[in-house]
Amino acid sequence: MGAGTKFSRAFLLAALASAGVRAGAAETLLAGASQFLVVGFEGCHWCEVLKRETMKDPAVVAALGRYRVTVVDRDDDPAADERARALAGPRFSGYPLALVLSPAGGVLDAPAVFPAGKLADALDRAAAGRASAPAPPRPPGASRPDWLRLLDEEWDERVGGWAGDQKIVQPELALALLRARAGGPAARSVSVRRATDYLDRLRYAAVHDLVSGGFHRSSSFGSWDHPHFEKLTITQLQLAQAYVDAYLLTSREEFAAVARETLDFVLRELSASDGTLATGLSADSPGEGDYYLFRPEELADALGREGGRELRIYAALGPPLRERAGGLLSLRSGGPLPGPGLGALLRSLAAVREKRPRPLVDARAFAGVNGLGLAVFSRAAVIFDSPEYASASSRLRRSVARHARNGVLRHEWSGSSALAATEGDRAACIAGLLAAADADPSFKSRSRLRDDAWRLQRASLEFLKAAGLSDGMEFSLWPLAVANLRRFEHLRPAEAEELRGALDRVKRGLDAFPVYELKSRPGLALARAHLEAPAFSVELTARDEGELRRALRELAARTGPVSTINARLGARFEARICVGDLCLLPAASLTEMGVRLAAAD
C-alpha cells in the first residue's frame, strides 16, 4: 500500500460503471467532499484483502463514489498514522484502520471493513448523516474508570477477548490481569479468572495452530475463526509468558503444555543458526494461509479411518475459509485433554504440510525481540528444567551481550543498518540480561550480566530525563521499562532516588493516556500492573547447599525480579521482589521451597 495513494478518477468511474452506475450519476457521486481514509502497512494481509477485494465489491464501489478515497501506509507516513489513530480514539482496534471524515476533517464514523456489505452500509449511513457519533473526548483530570473495570466492560462474552470486529491476540492484557494486585483478593480472583478464560479460549481457537505450534496474530469478522495467518515472534514470546504465569498460578498442566509448545515452535521455526530470533512468519505461502489449511480428504489420506476417528475425539476441522480451500484444525471445546495419541496424529499432519510451499520467514533480527526472547527462555529453562531452553538462553545471552557492549545498541542486528536502538529495544535487552543473571548459578557471571544491564539502564535514564516514555518507546515494551526500573531500585540502592524519579515520570506518562486506550495499547495495562504492584520480602531456609541453590534458582526464574541474595546455610535469607510476581507461585510450591511471604514496609 503506497503512501498517500489516491484511487484515480478513471479507476473509480470504471468501478462505478461495473456496478451499474450511469456515467452522469457517477460524476455527480465523485464530486463529494467527504473522505474515506484507510491506514495500513506493507505485509498486512487484511489490508491487502481490503484493497484487492472488498474495495472492488460493487456495493462498496457505489458507496465509495460519495467520497475522496485515500490509502496511507503507516510506515511511509507515521505522522498520518498517528493522526488517524488519535481521531479513531477508543474505536481503534488494529489495521486496516478506516475512517469516514467530514469535509472539515471531523470523524463521521470508524466503520468495520469486513464483510463488504457491512462496510457499504456504514458508508451509506455516513453519507446520509446517520453514522454513530465518535466517543466524546475526556476532559483533562476528569475521573476515569479503573483500568481493570474497563477490561471487564470491554470483554466479549460470546467468543472471548475484547470488543472489536478485528480480534487481536493480546497477551499483554492476559499478563496484566494475572499480575494485577489492585482491589484486594476478591478483585484479584476475578482478574485471574478472566485471564485464564481468555487463555483457554485462545488455545481452543483457530488462531492457535494445533499442528505446527504457535499462534496467528489476529482474526477478522468478530471471531477467532478467520485468522490473519502472520505469526510474529514477539506475540509467541509474550503468549508463552502468559501461559507460564497461568500455569504457575493454577498448576494446570494444559497451560504448561501450550507454553512449551509455543516456545518449541519459536526455536524450530524462528531461530537462526547463530541463536538470534527472526521477526516472524508471513501470512502468504504463496496464497492466503494455504500452508495451514486442510481438506477432509487430506486428513483421511494422511491418517486413515482409525486415525481420523481418534483425531475427531480431540479436534474439529472448521469450514472452508474460501472456495476450494480447506479449513483449520482446532481443539474441540469440552473434549478430553490432548494425550500422546493426538501428538502422533499431529506429527503425521505436519509431514503433510512439509510438502507444501512454506511461509516466508522475516529473517530480520531486532534487538527488542531478542532481548525479550532472552528473558523468556531464561525463565522457562528453570521452570521446565529444560536443557534445550537453557541452550537457547545461552545463545541469546551471548548475542545480547555482544550487541550491548559499551552500552551501545543497534536496532537491527541482521543487516548493516546503523540505526540506533529504540528505548523499547533497550528495555527488552535489560530485562533479558537481568533474567539471565537470575537463572545463572555463578555469582561472577550474575554480576557481569547485571553490570551489562546497568550500563544500558544508565542510557535509558538519560533518555527518560530528556523525553519521557511517551516519546520513542513502543507501547508493548513499556512494561519491561517499568519492571527494570523497579528492579534496579533495589539492586542499585545508591541510585534509588534517581530511579524513583524516573518511575514518577513513567507514572505521569501513563496517567496522560485515557484509560480507554488500554484496549488498543495493551502494553499500558501491563505497565500499570507492574507499577502498582507492591514489593515483597522473601525468606528462604535450606538444609544444604544443593537445596538452597535449587530453591534460589527456581525462585529467581519464577519471579523474575529478585535482587542479589546474601546467603548462609542454616540461616534465613532475604531477597527483595520488586514487581510482585511471586504471587504467581502455587501454594504447594511455596511450601516445598520453604518460602514465607510478607508485604514489604
pLDDT band at 27 (very low <50, low <70, confident <90, very high): low
Helices vs strands, H then E, count in the chain: 22, 16
Mean pLDDT of 570-578: 43
Mean pLDDT of 140-148: 46
Rounded CA separation 429/370 (Å): 7
Is the Cα torsion angle 414, 418, 424, 428 positive or negative in sign? positive
pLDDT at 20: 54
Among 574, 595, 472, 469, which Cα is nearest to 531's? 469
Q: What is the DSSP letter of 540?
A: E
Rounded CA separation 284/282 (Å): 6
467-499 burial, b at 16+ Cβ within 10 Å, e below that, comes to ebbeeebbbbbbbbbbbbbbbbbbbbeebeebb
- Let me know: does 369 contact 291? Beta carbons within 8 Å: no
Rounded CA separation 242/264 (Å): 15
Among 64, 49, 51, 50, which Cα is nearest to 18's? 64
Rounded CA separation 149/57 (Å): 40
Q: Where is average pLDDT lowest: 102-106, 136-140, 294-298, 316-320?
A: 136-140
Q: What is the DSSP letter of 225?
A: S
Q: Give CA separation, 312 vs 38, 141, 160, 398, in Å.
A: 42, 55, 24, 45
State the CB neighbour count (10 A cutoff) for residue 51: 18
Which range has the top average pLDDT, 89-93, 114-118, 442-446?
442-446
Element (H, E) at 68: strand 67-73
pLDDT at 376: 94
CA atoms within 13 A on the CB side of 284: 9
CA atoms within 13 A on the CB side of 341: 13
pLDDT at 466: 63
Q: Where is average pLDDT lowest: 68-82, 103-117, 163-177, 240-254?
A: 103-117
pLDDT band at 560 (very low <50, low <70, confident <90, very high): very low
- Unique residue bearing C-alpha cell 527456581: 554
Over the chain, what is the mean pLDDT?
76
Rounded CA separation 457/484 (Å): 8
For the chain, domains (ranges, CATH) are: 5-127 (3.40.30.10), 162-363 (no CATH), 367-526 (no CATH), 536-599 (3.30.70)
Grouping H, G, I as helix, E, B as strand and the rest as coil, residue 10 is helix
pLDDT at 15: 56
Grouping H, G, I as helix, E, B as strand and the rest as coil, residue 355 is coil
Residue 19 has pLDDT above 70, yes or no: no
Residue % of the chain over a pLDDT of 70: 71
The burial class, CB within 10 Å (0-12 / 13-18 / 19+), for 513 is middle
Residue 581 has pLDDT above 50, yes or no: no
Q: What values do phi and psi take at 435, rounded to 5?
A: -65, -40
pLDDT one-digit tens code per residue, 520-538: 677 778 888 777 766 654 5
pLDDT at 590: 45
pLDDT one-digit tens code per residue, 264-276: 999 999 999 888 9
Q: Where is average pLDDT lowest: 288-292, 361-365, 507-511?
A: 507-511
- Let me know: does 191 contact 146? Beta carbons within 8 Å: no
**Roughly how many angstroms between the first and final C-alpha of the chain, as a whole number?**
55
Please give the residue that has the higher pLDDT: either 257 or 560: 257
Residue 583 has pLDDT above 60, yes or no: no
Residue 330 has pLDDT above 80, yes or no: yes
pLDDT band at 601 (very low <50, low <70, confident <90, very high): very low
- Let me know: does 254 contact 286? Beta carbons within 8 Å: no
pLDDT band at 302 (very low <50, low <70, confident <90, very high): very high
How many Å separate Cα 205 from the centre of its chain?
A: 16
Q: What is the DSSP letter of 549?
A: H
Residue 172 has pLDDT above 50, yes or no: yes
Mean pLDDT of 377-404: 90
* All cell numbers assigned to 178: 494475572
Among 107, 40, 103, which Cα is nearest to 77's? 40
Rounded CA separation 398/80 (Å): 39
Residue 62 has pLDDT above 90, yes or no: no
* All cell numbers assigned to 197: 478464560
Residue 377 has pLDDT above 90, yes or no: yes
pLDDT band at 294 (very low <50, low <70, confident <90, very high): very high
pLDDT at 548: 58
pLDDT at 538: 54
How many Å separate Cα 111 from the centre of its chain?
A: 24
pLDDT band at 51 (very low <50, low <70, confident <90, very high): confident
Residue 70 has pLDDT above 70, yes or no: yes
* All cell numbers assigned to 278: 527472526
Residue 211 has pLDDT above 80, yes or no: yes
- Let me know: does 362 contact 282? Beta carbons within 8 Å: yes
530-569 burial, b at 16+ Cβ within 10 Å, e below that, comes to bbbbebbebebbbeeeeebeebbbbbbbbbbbbbebebee
pLDDT one-digit tens code per residue, 118-141: 788 888 888 776 544 444 443 333
Say how many residues make up the chain: 601
Q: Which residues make beta-bridge pairs with 40?
A: 73
pLDDT band at 236 (very low <50, low <70, confident <90, very high): very high
Strand order across the beta sheet in which 107-109 lies: 5-6, 67-73, 34-40, 97-101, 107-109
Q: Where is average pLDDT lowest: 105-114, 393-402, 507-516?
A: 507-516
Mean pLDDT of 96-112: 80
Mean pLDDT of 150-173: 83
Is the Cα torsion angle 10, 14, 17, 19 positive or negative in sign? negative
Entry pTM: 0.73
E strands, 343-432, are 361-362
C-alpha gyration radius of the chain: 25
Does 96 sit behind a cis peptide bond, omega within 30 degrees of 0 on the bond before it?
yes
Please give the residue that has the higher pLDDT: either 484 or 508: 484
Residue 582 has pLDDT above 60, yes or no: no
Mean pLDDT of 192-203: 92
pLDDT at 408: 66
Rounded CA separation 326/288 (Å): 11
pLDDT at 140: 37
